[in-house]
Every structure is written in structure tokens, then in C-alpha cells.
Amino acid sequence: MQENFEIMLSVDLGTGGPKVALVTTDGHVVASELTPITTQRIGRSGATQNPLDWWQAIVGSTRNLLSSGEVKPDQIVGIATTGQWGSTVPVDVDGQPAGDCMLWMDSRGYEYSRSLMAGPTPFRIEGYGIDRVLKFIRKSSGAPALQGNDPLGHYLFMKNELPDIFENTAYFLEPVDFISLCFTGVVKATPASMILSWIVDIRNLGNAKYAKDLIRITKRDFNKVPELVPTGSIVGTICKKASDELGIKEGLPVVSGIPDLLSAPPGSGGMDDYDFHLAISTSSWMSCHVPYKKTDPFRQIATVPGVMPGKYLIANNHDTAGITLEWLRDILFSSAQARPKYSEIDSLIEKVPAGSGGIIFTPWLTGERCPVDDRTLRGSFLNLSLDSTKDEMIRSLYEGVAFNARWMQDAVEKFIKRKVGSIRFIGGGASSKIWCQIHADILEREVHQVKDPLVANVRGVALYGAMALKKTDATRIKASVKVDEVFSPNKNNQALYRELYGIYKGLYKKQHKMYATLNRSSSPITRSKEME
């Protein structure tokens, strides 16, 4: 590594753990390290992590990467963080966690969110009080989830069920803002990091600000809301404590943190309007920049502040995508010694014909968000027989995640009133060439496998940070991100996949009442699971 390269220290705080990288200001990932973090499961609906585990992992990885000597500490010119969003860290007056982080999949606040968002009116739409949901959509482009698995649900749960933590909390922060606090000692947030709180008026992106009426509706304490600064601004500089821990110089600029949805466009090279990308990691989404603010509450799609000035970004989500493969692998190969690597799993299914012997997998392991918002949905393998094989089940999972992406793509096309073009593919799922081809076949679109897709988000947030520091721009970013391979739809599979997709997208309508019965909070089945 030449010593004249300027380096961004880049952090991607995924649900599986933080990935730290040293990235040049033109997007070359010199080195990276991922540290797995344990998620504590609480009953069927609780999921937490210790925020201090994140910081200790970031410190350890930074020191490990710098110890190789490939990059010298004085080459680092700035720091930027991306990661999970819709999670909530309670922080005390000293900037320390007052309790564990409630993750985006933690829906223990379900009853409180549902009651609050219904309001006193008898006039409701999809469970929301019409007057309340319209106020939120008009200003913030969305509304708190009735499932309770977002900052409002977390806030209400802590207020009602964890009063000691609530009283000791000075601020409720998103994970990326907590990491910025660790770097700088300063508490700040942005319209981007506060997206899923739905309390920021984003009608004028140049003057986005908190909407006090929305804060009042959600019964938040305004004093516990962090100061808002523009997305892409410098929130502070590295404090002495952090510089000593990390082994880098004090005073380096720290760029405001952003959700991984926002680091994906620069990470995929899709910076122009309608440059689509598909990300498959733990969760998945399909997005691009658009020049307007819009909301579709029925399909759970909205536009949120993007990384480009004056631009919005399409927001949608499938909670369980790549993690379904991890889940199935751990079940089918229970012995850690016998557990294959993901690349080896690809080889297991190479000879399985398209259609997986008629098996259909639905990847709704924690419910679904888009194009339906239903926390009671669950995953399933349909049409199993005595002749079904393990390899067919695995391929059906690959296809099921792609069918779910097609379901989202259909909703997105209705939202933007135009066809989705070619798609840049990033995340762990994009590392699999066979999964790339399956997506191309089922989406019926060219799929562009972005180079080094596993590090797309750390690359993206580094480029976002470099852009904030005036060291690059959108045109150079688009040119710098390379594509490894282009996968075109296989027309030989078209008729089969169209037939299977027709069956797939009808499953929700046919099965959702069954799942509601099996998984409602009052169900004896659910209560017995909670007691395990």
C-alpha cells in the first residue's frame, strides 16, 4: 500500500457484528475485519445486544488492521459509520448504555405501539387511526410500525416495562449515532439516522427538522431526543479517549452515521436516479434514488432522505433473507464440524434443477414488512414429499428468497410507475454466483454482481464520508465501483419460474389467517413458546 493514499476508517455495524475496514477515498478496501456479536433472544419477540460489545469489537478490529502495517495511522483522514437501523440504544448522561440495545427485530412493544397509533378515532386503516397516520405520512413519509419492532415500540416498551432503564436514559439513539458518540463524545443524530422514528419533517430536505406534533403524538419526551444535524455533516472529531483506545490521532473528523440503506448506493455504484440495487445480508431490500417524496402505506414503501443532496431513497425491507440460509444450514448440519461453508452449499445445489422438485420456501421467519406488514407470518417449506432431498430444500430456500424479492420488485414498480431496469447486487447473498443467476431468472432482470459485494457497505460509507470531506463526488464514485459479472435471465427457466411465482404470491392471501391464529399473542401455542 502506497503511503500517499488517504484512508477512511469505515464501520458497518451489522446485526451479526461490526465490520471495520480501511478504505481509500476512491473506494478500494485495503483490509477489513468482522467480529461476530451475540444476540440475546428473549422469548419469541425479544432480541437485544450489548452496545459495549460493538465498541470493544471496533477497537479490537481497528488495532488489528493497523498492526499489519499496510496502512499507517497518519494516513487516516476521517471516520464514517453505517449499519443496522430501527434499533434503540438507551444512553445515560455520561454517554454510557443505560441498558441493552433493543434490535430492529424486537417487537415486545407491539401492544403499546398498536394502541397508540390506533388513537381514539373509530376510523382506521390497516390498524392505524386515519388522522394520526395521515399526519405522519404528510411530514415524515411514513409511520411507526404497528408490529412494535422500531424505535417507538422500543421506547414505549422501556417506558412501561423497564422503568429503571427508562428513567436513567438521557437519550434514545440509533446504533450508528451511538458509535459516533463513542468516537466523539458528542450526542447528535441526522434526518437519515432518525428515519424509522418518523418524527422528522422531511418535506424540505434542505431544512429537515423535528416535527413537534409528531413527537407529542408518540408521547416521547422531547428532552430525550438527540440534537439533529444535516446528513453528511461532521458531527465532531475523535476525542482523546477514543484516539487512545483506537491508536489513531486525536481530532480526526467524524462524519454523521447513516443506515445501511444509505451506504448501499455508493457501495453499489448506483448514484443516479433509478440506479437500482438489491442487497441481501441478514435482511434484504431493493432501492434507488428518486427525485420525489412519496409513501405507499399499503405496501410499506416510502421515500426517505438519501445521500445525494435533494434526493430521496426508496425504503422497504424484508427482515429475513440471508439469515434464512444460516438458519437452515445450522438445522440440516447440526454438528459444527460437519457444517459446510456457504461456498460449499452452492456446490450442493448446482445439480438440482430449477424449481427444486416443486418445493416452495417462504422466508418469513420473523414476519414480513413489504409488501405486507404482518408480524404473525412465519416461514415454511411447502410441497415436501418422501422423495424430497436436502439439496432440493436448500435450493428452494435460494428460490424463495428470490421470489420474495420479486414480490417486492412488483410493489416497487407500482410505486415508481415504471419498470425496474438492471439491478446491482450486493451483500453476502451476492457472493453466490448461483444465487445471482436464480435472482436474474426469477426477477427477469439483468443482475450485476458488484465486485467484492461483502464489503459493499463499508466501501459505501467510506465513499459517503469521503464525499462529505470533499475528497470525491458522485461521478467519480459511480466510475470507481466495478462489476464482476453480469447474469442474464435464462429463458429456459422462465415459464417454470413464472408459474411458481404465481403460486408464491398467492400464499399470503391463502395462509395469513392461519398464521394469525397460530401466532397471535393470546394463542396457547404462543404462550407455551414464551414459557420455554
Q: Over range 16-36, report the average pLDDT.
A: 97
Burial class (CB in 10 A: 0-12, 13-18, 19+), 448: buried
CA distance 23 to 10: 7
Q: What is the pLDDT of residues 96-155, one digit of tens each?
A: 999 999 999 999 999 999 999 999 888 898 889 999 999 999 999 999 988 899 999 999
Q: Could you identify the residue written with the cell 477515498?
A: 25
What is the value of pTM for the model shown? 0.91
- Does the pLDDT of residue 335 top 90, yes or no? no
CA distance 391 to 347: 10
Work out whether strand 447-450 and strand 483-487 pair parallel, antiparallel, or are unpaired. antiparallel
Q: Is 313 helix (H, G, I), strand (E, B) or coil?
A: strand
Domain ranges in the chain are: 7-256, 284-290+292-452+490-524
Q: 521: pLDDT confidence band, cut at 50, 70 and 90?
A: low
Which residues are bridge partners to 18 per DSSP?
Answer: 13
CA distance 319 to 305: 21
Q: What is the pLDDT of residues 449-462, one digit of tens each?
A: 999 999 999 999 99
Angle at 501 between CA 500 and CA 503, to 5 degrees: 65
Element (H, E) at 60: helix 51-67
Q: What is the pLDDT of residues 464-509, one digit of tens each?
A: 999 999 999 999 999 999 999 999 999 999 999 999 999 999 999 9
CA distance 175 to 354: 40
Q: Could you identify the residue written with the cell 461483502?
A: 454
Q: Do residues 455 and 65 lie in contact, with contact meaning Cβ atoms separated by under 8 Å?
A: no
| pLDDT number for residue 128 | 93
C-alpha cell at 338: 460437519
Q: Do residues 424 and 269 lie in contact, with contact meaning Cβ atoms separated by under 8 Å?
A: yes
* Amino acid present at 458: V
Q: Is 151 helix (H, G, I), strand (E, B) or coil?
A: helix
| pLDDT number for residue 531 | 44
Q: Do residues 421 and 274 lie in contact, with contact meaning Cβ atoms separated by under 8 Å?
A: yes
| pLDDT number for residue 25 | 97
- Going through 15-132 in order, the beta strands assigned E by DSSP cover 17-24, 29-34, 40-42, 46-49, 76-83, 89-91, 101-102, 124-125, 128-129
- Does the pLDDT of residue 522 top 50, yes or no? no
CA distance 62 to 41: 28
CATH number attached to the domain at 7-256? 3.30.420.40
CA distance 315 to 300: 9
Instruction: Tell me the Ramachandran region of residue 193: left when phi exceeds 0, alpha when psi lies from -120 to 50, beta otherwise.
Output: alpha
Counting residues of the chain whose pLDDT is more than 90, the rounded percentage is 89
CA distance 126 to 107: 18
What CATH architecture does domain 284-290+292-452+490-524 belong to? 2-Layer Sandwich (3.30)
Average pLDDT, the chain: 95
**Residue 80 CA to chain centroid, in angstroms?**
17
| pLDDT number for residue 523 | 46
